[in-house]
């Protein structure tokens, strides 16, 4: 059984016990434990089930590479699935539960899959679920959905808060092991702005566990001394619990800082996402130990050799009393020695190499440990827990020589440098056959904005396995990076590391090398996704020869650990199956983030009320206090209707429509874009921007204008007012303010840069209020100030003056067909002006109205709306707006495009009114059905609905639409489809259905 040792555990504070629960069971650990070490200390080996076969799973590693130890953690707003037990620091009250089993972790019905595994090989899903087709929807999909996914999805709103932080540094060093620390000192001494990241809570990496010696000091002391030196450097910033997540173009890097995961607190930030711009990046990210592929290597109790060592040294936890060590290199001997020194038994070291010699081997032998060379594990005995191993010759096919009882197997297949961050932005790898690893190719680094290399790598991540090389390499990398960033100050000498000699590793990709199918189909590569040696071999056999194809066919490396343990072993098996060299098969692509980061961190502050900016007009507060039912229009929230007590939204709309036609309505039109265009060439410029002529517009007058893109499509419309000889005010749609401003600047800066024109966006300088309805003039006259009579201020003119004591610009324009004034006042007085109008208008039956009423009123008049009648493929001619296309102008944006054959096609769909025979409201976007079907067997269409409303004035549905040859088909009845499969008949009519003569507006 796994248990707590009396005397070990360098990271533990045994003075502080912590209680936590696992699957409802109360357990205890110490401050300094990870959830993994605490579970093991409580003999909770079984931690979860694998994804496909529901095999029992325990931790196989002790760090970020862990594929198995994933739990649901927390509750309510802090619930989160797939939390890695090896990187979860224990805290008081932690709640964890295992995943992917039913009904319980100990007894899981899904484990039947493991007995069916012969029938569930790689590609099973693709082969099985394709036929018969109808079964997919009703049988397969529900089944797969039921079994898909690890852990449970959180149900509550995230209770925590997050933030981003932007920072710019000269040198970013990822990894706080001895290489990273040496690099930081070297770069710091040179005077560079340095940031050093360590993903765990502890500095020093493996060296402190393995007892390396640097500058004559034990690594632990050297690390402490170095940290103290770094803390004194003002130009160096140290961040622990902060993982380098990704490296991107031009020196951009993301780091994921877990501020309070180890001590949850509602008042503090949980995670911070660092958005770093670094001139140089040094990845000192260490290495990951590889598992060995032998039958039963997934049984709980089989663990990476270095992890077994970590649990003893760091956490004082023994995984088992009797540990068999199996290896192809010297490093695993350290585990055997550590275990023996901790008073535990190592019955045998199984070394696949035919020869093993050197100080570590000698030391193991001197301690009385039996070493068997040229041997392999044929098979691990046990189900939910290792009970023993069967030993065979590595060279053979698996004939068992003897069986050894044990409760832990420590395996080591060698070390793979963590090359992820090097590779994220294009760094290439080379195969080091001597050390049996991919490592960064220093000739092919990621390059930056000037073509310069901007990522270097140091230490074990660079393929250096010995202390002396690691610290020396780190130091050199730090110096070089600082220099590349322009910092040259002289520094002290590089630290010196000391090493024991080690013998060479021997590649072992399958154990034993001639393992039969029965063994190969129990030799796991990917522990989480249940991919075995036999699956990769099958993929190769079935033609999935590219490593990327084999990955997707088998799901190797596609689990939440992204193949940190499985990728190299898997591609070696693939290479062997293809009879190819490992470097020729290559690796799959390394993509950020290095390990999963929280969605909260990605969102940062953009959550809840700050999720998106909500734009407010000066009148928004009044509207929200007075029943506004808002709708989003871009980032604005515009009142759709002002709902009174006891009314539905629909009732409110009908009331507003009738009241505006009969009495007086008030609309907050502040969101409309307002662009000042000024200069000697402003008229010429606007003649290019608009399809109609703006240069001839007299001062004091207004003109409705259309804007097309160079493609000829309608992009915006609005009323243009001439302010003075050289100044125009262009109104845009609400959505157009920014992009039409940008559009104008684009043409001025990039095409006609010699034209003398300035544009300013003054949209938000003004509150603009539309006073609409038969009583509009009465209200303004009551407030007094300027003359707004029909004679002095006729339709389509504007004047500046005062209304009720407010400085105002009054535009006599109408988007409703009513007598209407749009009045602009400075935004700071907008709310006051609105209330003044509301109060003074009471006797005239004033009511505010929202956007739905605006839409209905304009639709009754056949006025188009950008975004309803247009969708980026509609030209003015389609909307019968040919009158607004100047014939006099030689050129304007869109003019040439309108000559193209499809634009000039007489059979384009054109705007008409649509009147349902039964008076109902047509569904928005419905298509008009035509005879026959197209090549895909779909019913042909001949038009579609673009605007459709219920008109309270006419007491029936009204609509506009685009119909093939529409204006020539007045009176014809066509059919529109409905979502429920039925159709509705509508007559083609004139789009203007209210006050055709315009009598109401011209008063």
d(CA 968, CA 961): 14
Q: Contacting other proteins (CB under 8 A), which of 94, 184, 238, 281?
A: 238
d(CA 417, CA 115): 36
964 touches other proteins (CB under 8 A): no
The contacts found for 616-620 with CB under 8 angstroms, 24 or more apart, are 617/668, 617/670, 617/671, 617/767, 617/830, 618/670, 618/767, 618/827, 618/828, 618/829, 618/830, 618/831, 618/834, 619/668, 619/670, 619/767, 619/769, 619/830, 619/831, 619/834, 620/668
Say how many C-beta atoms besides its own lie within 10 A of residue 887's C-beta. Answer: 7
Q: Contacting other proteins (CB under 8 A), which of 751, 787, 842, 968?
A: 751
Please identify, using beta-carbon distances, which residue of 630 and 983 lies nearer to other proteins: 630
Please identify, using beta-carbon distances, which residue of 594 and 892 lies nearer to other proteins: 892
14 touches other proteins (CB under 8 A): no
**Inter-CA distances, 466 with 164, 174, 214, 442, 585, Å:** 37, 19, 11, 19, 28
At which residue do the structure tokens 């960064």 appear?
440
839 touches other proteins (CB under 8 A): no
Find the binding residues for other proteins in span 289-348 (CB under 8 A).
Answer: none
Taking Cα atoms as reference points, which of 663, 662, 627 lies closest to residue 842?
663
Q: How far is the CB of 316 from other proteins (least distance, A)?
A: 16
Q: How far is the CB of 203 from other proteins (least distance, A)?
A: 8
d(CA 723, CA 730): 10
| Binding residues for other proteins, total number by CB under 8 A | 89
Please identify, using beta-carbon distances, which residue of 27 and 197 lies nearer to other proteins: 197
Q: How far is the CB of 320 from other proteins (least distance, A)?
A: 28
Q: Contacting other proteins (CB under 8 A), which of 763, 775, 816, 948?
A: 763
Please identify, using beta-carbon distances, which residue of 205 and 557 lies nearer to other proteins: 205
**Binding window for other proteins (CB under 8 A); candidates: 467-475, 752-760, 786-794, 870-878:** 752-760
Q: How far is the CB of 832 from other proteins (least distance, A)?
A: 4
Q: Contacting other proteins (CB under 8 A), which of 710, 842, 871, 990?
A: 710
Burial class (CB in 10 A: 0-12, 13-18, 19+), 890: exposed
Q: Contacting other proteins (CB under 8 A), which of 124, 129, 248, 704?
A: 248
The two three-digit tokens of residue 85, written as one number: 């037990």
The two three-digit tokens of residue 489, written as one number: 């100050």
Find the binding residues for other proteins in span 796-815 (CB under 8 A).
Answer: 802, 805-807
d(CA 164, CA 601): 7
Ramachandran bin of 733, using left for φ above 0, alpha for ψ from -120 to 50, beta for the remaining angles: beta
Q: How far is the CB of 200 from other proteins (least distance, A)?
A: 9
Would you list the DSSP string of 303-358?
EEHHHHHHHHHHH-EES-SBEEEEESSSTHHHHHHHHHHTT-B---EEE-SS---S
Please identify, using beta-carbon distances, which residue of 279 and 479 lies nearer to other proteins: 279
Q: Contacting other proteins (CB under 8 A), which of 144, 263, 357, 760?
A: 760
**Binding window for other proteins (CB under 8 A); candidates: 149-157, 487-495, 674-682, 979-987:** 674-682
Find the binding residues for other proteins in span 432-451 (CB under 8 A).
Answer: 447-451
15 touches other proteins (CB under 8 A): no
User: Sign of dihedral through CA atoms 386, 390, 393, 397?
Assistant: negative
Find the binding residues for other proteins in span 860-899 (CB under 8 A).
Answer: 890-891, 895-897, 899
**Going residue by residue from 463 to 482, which x/- string records binding to other proteins, judged by CB under 8 A?**
--------------------
Please identify, using beta-carbon distances, which residue of 766 and 994 lies nearer to other proteins: 766
Q: How far is the CB of 753 from other proteins (least distance, A)?
A: 4
d(CA 364, CA 906): 92
Q: Which residues contact 148 (CB under 8 A, 6 or more apart)?
A: none
Please identify, using beta-carbon distances, which residue of 701 and 739 lies nearer to other proteins: 739
Segment (H or E) for 549: helix 547-554
Q: How far is the CB of 673 from other proteins (least distance, A)?
A: 12
Q: Contacting other proteins (CB under 8 A), which of 428, 678, 701, 987?
A: 678
Find the binding residues for other proteins in span 612-641 (CB under 8 A).
Answer: 612-618, 635-636
Torsion from C-alpha of 291, 293, 298, 301, nearest 10 degrees: -60
CB 990 within 8 A of CB 967: no
Q: How far is the CB of 761 from other proteins (least distance, A)?
A: 8
At which residue do the structure tokens 């907050």 appear?
668
Please identify, using beta-carbon distances, which residue of 434 and 754 lies nearer to other proteins: 754
Largest Cα–Cα distance in the chain?
Answer: 114
581 touches other proteins (CB under 8 A): no
Torsion from C-alpha of 256, 439, 546, 530, nearest 10 degrees: -60
826 touches other proteins (CB under 8 A): yes
**Binding window for other proteins (CB under 8 A); candidates: 470-478, 592-600, 820-828, 856-864:** 820-828
91 touches other proteins (CB under 8 A): no
Please identify, using beta-carbon distances, which residue of 17 and 605 lies nearer to other proteins: 605
Q: How far is the CB of 891 from other proteins (least distance, A)?
A: 5
Q: How far is the CB of 650 from other proteins (least distance, A)?
A: 29
Find the binding residues for other proteins in span 117-176 (CB under 8 A).
Answer: 161, 163-168
Exposure on the CB side of residue 103, measured as CA atoms within 13 A: 0
Q: Contacting other proteins (CB under 8 A), which of 503, 507, 583, 679?
A: 679
**Binding window for other proteins (CB under 8 A); candidates: 494-502, 602-610, 698-706, 946-954:** 602-610
Find the binding residues for other proteins in span 365-424 (CB under 8 A).
Answer: none
Please identify, using beta-carbon distances, which residue of 831 and 884 lies nearer to other proteins: 831
d(CA 738, CA 414): 58
For the chain, counts of helices (H) and of strands (E): 26, 52
CB 49 within 8 A of CB 110: yes
Q: How far is the CB of 720 from other proteins (least distance, A)?
A: 17
Hey, is 933 helix, strand or coil?
strand
d(CA 614, CA 622): 16
Which residues are registered as beta bridge partners of 847? 665
**Going residue by residue from 192 to 221, which x/- string records binding to other proteins, judged by CB under 8 A?**
-x-------xxx------------------
**Binding window for other proteins (CB under 8 A); candidates: 33-41, 323-331, 396-404, 748-756:** 748-756
The two three-digit tokens of residue 255, written as one number: 């780091």
829 touches other proteins (CB under 8 A): yes
Based on its alpha-carbon atoms, the radius of gyration of the chain, rounded to whole angstroms, reads 37
**Binding window for other proteins (CB under 8 A); candidates: 331-339, 390-398, 672-680, 814-822:** 672-680
Q: How far is the CB of 652 from other proteins (least distance, A)?
A: 25
Q: How far is the CB of 227 from other proteins (least distance, A)?
A: 7
Q: How far is the CB of 166 from other proteins (least distance, A)?
A: 5
Please identify, using beta-carbon distances, which residue of 831 and 838 lies nearer to other proteins: 831
Would you list the DSSP string of 600-634?
HHHHTT-SGGGSS--B--TTHHHHHHTTEEEEEET
């Amino acid at each position: 059984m796994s248990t707590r040792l009396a005397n070990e555990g360098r990271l533990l504070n045994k003075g502080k016990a912590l209680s936590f629960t696992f699957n409802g069971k109360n357990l205890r650990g110490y401050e300094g434990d990870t959830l993994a070490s605490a579970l093991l200390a409580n003999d909770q080996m079984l931690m979860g089930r694998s994804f496909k076969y529901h095999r029992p799973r325990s931790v196989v590693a002790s760090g970020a590479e862990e594929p198995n130890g994933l739990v649901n953690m927390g509750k309510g707003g802090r619930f989160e699935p797939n939390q890695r037990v090896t990187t979860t620091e224990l805290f008081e009250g932690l709640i964890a539960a295992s995943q992917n089993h039913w009904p319980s972790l100990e007894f899981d019905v899904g484990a039947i899959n493991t007995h069916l595994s012969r029938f569930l090989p790689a590609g099973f899903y693709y082969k099985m679920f394709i036929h018969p087709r109808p079964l997919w929807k009703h049988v397969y999909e529900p089944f797969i959905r039921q079994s898909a996914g690890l852990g449970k999805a959180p149900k509550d709103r995230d209770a925590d808060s997050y933030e981003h932080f932007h920072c710019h540094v000269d040198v970013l060093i990822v990894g706080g092991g001895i290489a990273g620390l040496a690099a930081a000192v070297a770069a710091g001494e040179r005077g560079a702005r340095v940031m050093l990241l360590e993903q765990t809570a502890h500095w020093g990496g493996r060296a402190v566990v393995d007892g390396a010696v640097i500058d004559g000091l034990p690594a632990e002391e050297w690390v402490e001394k170095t940290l103290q030196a770094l803390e004194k450097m003002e130009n160096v910033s140290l961040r622990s619990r902060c993982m380098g997540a990704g490296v991107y173009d031009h020196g951009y890097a993301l780091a994921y800082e877990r501020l309070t995961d180890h001590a949850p607190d509602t008042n503090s930030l949980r995670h911070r996402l660092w958005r770093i711009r670094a001139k140089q990046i040094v990845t000192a990210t260490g290495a990951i130990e590889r598992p060995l592929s032998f039958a039963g290597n997934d049984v709980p109790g089989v663990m990476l050799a270095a992890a077994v060592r970590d649990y003893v040294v760091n956490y004082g936890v023994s995984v088992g009393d009797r540990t068999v060590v199996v290896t192809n290199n010297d490093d695993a001997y350290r585990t055997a020695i550590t275990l023996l020194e901790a008073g535990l038994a190592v019955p045998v070291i199984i070394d696949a190499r035919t020869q093993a010699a050197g100080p570590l081997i000698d030391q193991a032998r001197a301690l009385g440990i039996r070493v068997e060379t040229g041997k392999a594990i044929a098979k691990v005995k046990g189900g939910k827990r290792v009970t023993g191993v069967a030993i065979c010759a590595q060279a053979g096919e698996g004939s068992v020589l003897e069986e050894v009882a044990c409760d832990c197997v420590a395996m080591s297949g060698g070390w793979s440098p963590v090359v992820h961050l090097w590779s994220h932005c294009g760094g290439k790898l080379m195969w080091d056959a001597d050390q049996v690893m991919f490592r960064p190719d220093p000739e092919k680094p990621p390059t930056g904005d000037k073509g310069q290399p901007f990522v270097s790598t140091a230490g074990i991540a660079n393929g250096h396995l010995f202390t002396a090389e690691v610290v020396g390499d780190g130091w050199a990398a730090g110096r070089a990076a600082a220099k590349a960033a322009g910092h040259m100050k002289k520094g002290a000498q590089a630290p010196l590391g000391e090493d024991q000699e080690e013998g060479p590793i021997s590649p072992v990709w399958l154990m034993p090398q001639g393992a039969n199918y029965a063994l190969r189909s129990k030799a796991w590569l990917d522990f989480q996704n249940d991919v075995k040696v036999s699956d990769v071999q099958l993929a190769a056999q079935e033609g999935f020869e590219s490593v990327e194809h084999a990955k997707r066919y088998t799901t190797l490396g596609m689990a939440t650990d992204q193949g940190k343990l499985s990728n190299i072993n898997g591609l070696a098996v693939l290479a062997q199956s293809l009879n190819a060299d490992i470097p020729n098969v290559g690796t799959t692509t390394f993509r950020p983030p290095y390990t999963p980061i929280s969605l909260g961190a990605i969102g940062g502050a953009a959550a809840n009320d700050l999720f998106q900016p909500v734009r407010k007009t000066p009148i928004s507060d009044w509207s929200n206090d007075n029943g506004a039912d808002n709708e989003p229009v871009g980032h604005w929230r515009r009142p759709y209707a002002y709902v009174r007590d006891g009314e539905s939204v629909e009732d409110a709309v009908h009331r507003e429509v009738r009241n505006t036609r009969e009495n007086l309505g008030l609309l907050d039109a502040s969101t409309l874009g307002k662009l000042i265009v000024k200069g000697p060439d402003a008229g010429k410029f606007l003649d290019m921007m608009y399809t109609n002529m703006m240069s001839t517009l007299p001062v004091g007058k207004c003109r409705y204008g259309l804007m097309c893109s160079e493609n000829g499509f309608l992009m915006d419309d609005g009323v243009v007012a001439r302010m003075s000889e050289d100044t125009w005010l262009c109104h845009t749609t609400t959505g157009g303010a920014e992009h039409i401003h940008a559009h104008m600047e684009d043409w001025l800066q990039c095409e006609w840069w010699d034209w003398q024109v300035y544009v300013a966006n003054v949209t938000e300088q003004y509150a603009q209020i539309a006073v609409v309805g038969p009583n509009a003039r009465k209200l303004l006259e009551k407030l007094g100030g300027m003359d707004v009579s029909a004679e002095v201020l006729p339709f389509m003119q504007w004047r500046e003056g005062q209304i009720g004591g407010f400085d105002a610009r009054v535009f006599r324009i109408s988007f409703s067909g009513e007598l209407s004034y749009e009045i602009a006042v400075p935004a700071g007085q907008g709310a006051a002006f609105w209330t003044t109008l509301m109060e003074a208008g009471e006797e005239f039956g004033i009511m505010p109205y929202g956007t739905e009423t605006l839409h209905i009123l304009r639709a009754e008049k056949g006025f188009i709306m950008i975004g309803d009648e247009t969708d980026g493929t509609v030209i003015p001619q389609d909307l019968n707006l040919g009158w607004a296309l100047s014939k006099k102008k030689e050129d304007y944006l869109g003019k040439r495009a309108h000559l193209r054959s499809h634009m000039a096609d007489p059979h384009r769909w054109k705007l008409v009114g649509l009147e349902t025979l039964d008076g109902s409201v047509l569904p928005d976007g419905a298509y008009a059905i035509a005879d026959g079907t197209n090549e895909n067997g779909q019913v042909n269409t001949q038009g579609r609905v673009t605007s459709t409303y219920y008109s309270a004035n006419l007491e029936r549905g009204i609509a506009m639409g685009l119909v093939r040859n529409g204006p020539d088909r007045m009176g014809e009845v066509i059919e529109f489809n409905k979502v429920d499969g039925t159709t509705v008949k509508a007559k083609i009519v004139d789009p203007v259905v209210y006050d055709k003569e315009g009598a109401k507006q011209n008063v």
